[in-house]
Structure 1
Amino acid sequence: MNDHYYSSQPKSASDKQVIEATLRGHKLKLTSDAGVFSRDGVDYGSRVLIEHMDIPQQASVLDVGCGYGPIGLIAARLAPQGHATLIDINERAVGLATANAKANGIENVIIAQSDLYSAVVNRTFDVILSNPPIRAGKAVVHRLFAESFDRLNPGGTFWIVIQKKQGAPSARAKLEEIYGEDAVEEVGKDKGYRIIRCKRT
């Protein structure tokens, strides 16, 4: 099997590098590695999601497919009275996100290895964020969408970033099926990336 960022145990040789990024006014020093998503720098789609996401100060937040942590760690910074949980199937990504939280002094986080929502089946959140693993296939992405609904508190929001060419219109149609047409809104776009927000009403 090829070594993908959605492999649970990447087999590629470790080749760590440090990235510095300023996101929503917060400077982060992030270590990335081979075998994880967007290892050479914070992905443009993730940056667009970070710029648009609305995180209340006391929110409980879940980042699904956190990689080495940029989205979830900024969410934790934006919710100083709240809490962020970062999950990823990739054990190398989980190790990096854990180290990156510590290196940046971010303590209001829990980071866990999880196949989609398996590690959080008994918990609910105010905000769920995801830059979904498109290359893992439609079945995985649609499961990520479908199972988000039951993980949200009433009034909670589910945010994704997706490129138009990677199926933003069909993703939106699927989310409208799950959440209802009136509860799904495109709230931002940049260079072909679309930010879609769904509200559990």
Structure 2
Amino acid sequence: MAEQYFSAEPTSKDVRRTLNVTLQGREVPVETSNGVFSGSRLDLGTSVLLREVPEPPSSGTFLDLGCGWGPVTLSLALAAPDANVWAVDVNERALELTAANARRNGCANVHVTRTDESGVPLSAQSPAVCEAMPDDLAFDVIWSNPPIRIGKDALHALLMAWLPRLKPEGGVAYLVVQKNLGADSLIPWLAGELGDGFEVSKYHSAKGYRVIEVVHNN
């Protein structure tokens, strides 16, 4: 593959196409393009995540880590219109698509933020659809199909940049990871790195994927 979906500024031609996908039990029109994750369909791992996770609370602050063109973001926003849903990605085209898909589907509660390659939000936000994220923002819910193919070290750094931002006393994250790409070894690693106050466990298995649950208890 000449260009990875986690390129910050894709060089492939931006050819927009419309898909109809089922999110939160309804048909949702979305735009996708080249140079973003799963640009021609709803990824199987994302489908597993969205099918198996419990419904989010009706309000709060939510995060889609590695948003791509926005299926997880849209699912969170549609499920909880009173929540603030933040979508983060390194890929500027992905962020433009997520913002456009949120507007198209009336999701005014979506905010998009660009990060650097280590997952840290950039102080100068571009493209124009992006918003600066408060440094102290904490999350009630994180849903993610994380970018496994960035490599183990980069993935570990990304997860440890965001999972500690779960709110104490009940903040919860759900991550979907292929079993053959290290899902089972990721669980004890996260438990060891996050330490006391966090519980990490396998929440569900389906179609070769694990859904990992991370709960911040105190």
TM-score range, shorter chain: over 0.9
- CA–CA separation in structure 2 for the residues paired with 1:59 and 1:192: 31
Structure 2 SS opposite 1:171: helix
Do the aligned partners of 1:67 and 1:94 also contact (CA within 8 Å) in 2? yes
Alignment match of 2:182 (pick from 154, 160, 167): 167
Alignment match of 2:204 (pick from 161, 179, 188): 188
Q: Which aligned runs of 4 or more in structure 1 are off by greater than 6 angstroms?
A: none
Structure 2 SS opposite 1:118: coil
Once structures 1 and 2 are overlaid, which stretch shifts more, 143-152 or 179-188?
A: 179-188
Structure 2 SS opposite 1:20: strand
Unaligned runs of 5+ residues in structure 1 are none
Do the aligned partners of 1:148 and 1:158 also contact (CA within 8 Å) in 2? no
Structure 2 SS opposite 1:11: coil
Alignment match of 1:143 (pick from 157, 162, 176): 157
Partner of residue 9, structure 1: 9
- CA–CA separation in structure 2 for the residues paired with 1:149 and 1:78: 22
Do the aligned partners of 2:81 and 2:107 also contact (CA within 8 Å) in 1? no
- CA–CA separation in structure 2 for the residues paired with 1:57 and 1:39: 29
Instruction: Provide TM-score, normalisation by structure 2.
Output: 0.87
- CA–CA separation in structure 2 for the residues paired with 1:111 and 1:118: 10
Unaligned runs of 5+ residues in structure 2 are 123-132
Structure 2 SS opposite 1:197: strand
Give the aligned CA root-mean-square deviation in angstroms: 1.7
Partner of residue 48, structure 1: 48
- CA–CA separation in structure 2 for the residues paired with 1:147 and 1:113: 14
Deviation by residue 1:15-55 (Cα, 9 ceiling, x = unmatched): 22111011231321111100000011110101111112231
Code of the aligned partner of 1:103: R
Deviation by residue 1:101-136 (Cα, 9 ceiling, x = unmatched): 011111111012223242543311101121111111
Q: From the superposition, tell whether residues 52 and 117 of structure 1 become closer, same or farther in structure 2 (CA, over 3 Å).
A: farther
Shift of 1:178: 2.7
Do the aligned partners of 1:179 and 1:199 also contact (CA within 8 Å) in 2? no
Percent identical: 37
Task: Kindly tell me the number of residue pairs found equivalent between the two proteins.
Answer: 201
- CA–CA separation in structure 1 for the residues paired with 2:34 and 2:58: 34
Code of the aligned partner of 1:46: T
- CA–CA separation in structure 2 for the residues paired with 1:117 and 1:161: 21
Code of the aligned partner of 1:134: I
Q: Does 1:158 align with 2:173?
A: yes
- CA–CA separation in structure 2 for the residues paired with 1:42 and 1:117: 26
Partner of residue 127, structure 2: none
Code of the aligned partner of 2:8: S
Partner of residue 67, structure 1: 68
- CA–CA separation in structure 2 for the residues paired with 1:48 and 1:59: 23
Bigger proportion of residues as helix: 1
- CA–CA separation in structure 2 for the residues paired with 1:10 and 1:72: 21
Once structures 1 and 2 are overlaid, which stretch shifts more, 48-57 or 82-91?
A: 48-57
Partner of residue 118, structure 1: 121
